[in-house]
Amino acid sequence: MFLAHYLGLLHRSEQELADAFRDVADGHKDEADVIRICHRLAEQCEDHVRRLAPFVESYAEDAPDEPHRLHAVLFAGTREGGLGLLRDLHDLYLMAAECDIAWTLVGQAAQGTRDQRLAQVVGLCEAETSTQLLWLRTRMKQAAPQALVVSTG
């Protein structure tokens, strides 16, 4: 059964996303909304990690290192300024999209195995991840005109 592989992928992806949200919050101290919301979303991701823990244990997690590599490639440190914020939010969006599709696939497996407890966790966490993506998309739209059109020099 390869469900353990995807549980491991999701488990690590959520932890990496939590770390990335905190990196962005810490790197953009002049953006009060980004600090507050990124810290809240990081806590949400860590809650997802905790909720997944019993399933990771029972299905014997087979965790690939792709989530760590994705985080390492995207976050060699946060960037500065408006364009830096936009790029950092874009990177968060890509990492959250990784979690989103993994939740979908794990949810399908939960249905296939008739694991109602896992399906409930997936339902809750998948909805929160969708909200994270929505906030990231909205915040990027807000930042884009200033970062991409208005000259700062």
pLDDT at 70: 64
Is residue 135 situated within a structural domain?
Answer: yes
Range of the domain at 135: 3-148
Residue 129 within a domain: yes
C-alpha 2 chain-centroid distance: 22
Q: What 3 state SS string does the chain have?
A: CCHHHHHHHHHHHHHHHHHHHHHHHHHCCCCHHHHHHHHHHHHHHHHHHHHHHHHHHHCCCCCCCHHHHHHHHHCCCCCCHHHHHHHHHHHHHHHHHHHHHHHHHHHHHHHHHCCHHHHHHHHHHHHHHHHHHHHHHHHHHHHHHHHHCCCCC
Distance, in Å, from the CA atom of 29 to the CA atom of 48, rounded to the nearest integer, reads: 26
List the CATH number of the domain containing 53: 1.20.1260.10
pLDDT score recorded for residue 153: 46
- The length of the chain is 153
Report the alpha-carbon distance of residue 74 to residue 115 in Å, rounded.
Answer: 34
Q: Tell me whether residue 153 is in a domain.
A: no
Q: Is residue 136 part of a domain?
A: yes
Amino acid in the structure at residue 29: K
| pLDDT of the residue at 152 | 56
How many Å apart are CA 11 and CA 80, to the nearest integer?
A: 30
| pTM beyond 0.85 | yes
CA 153 vs. chain centroid, Å, equals 33
The pLDDT tens digits along the chain (153 residues) read: 689 889 999 999 999 999 999 999 999 999 999 999 999 999 999 999 999 999 998 887 666 666 566 656 666 667 788 899 999 999 999 999 999 999 999 999 999 999 999 999 999 999 999 999 999 999 999 999 998 997 554
User: How many distinct structural domains can be found in the chain?
Assistant: 1
- Domain membership flag for residue 40: yes
- With respect to residue 37, please indicate whether it lies within any of the assigned structural domains: yes
CA 7 to chain CA centroid, nearest Å: 15
CB 45 within 8 A of CB 14: yes
- In a domain, residue 48? The reply is yes
Does residue 105 belong to any structural domain of this protein?
yes
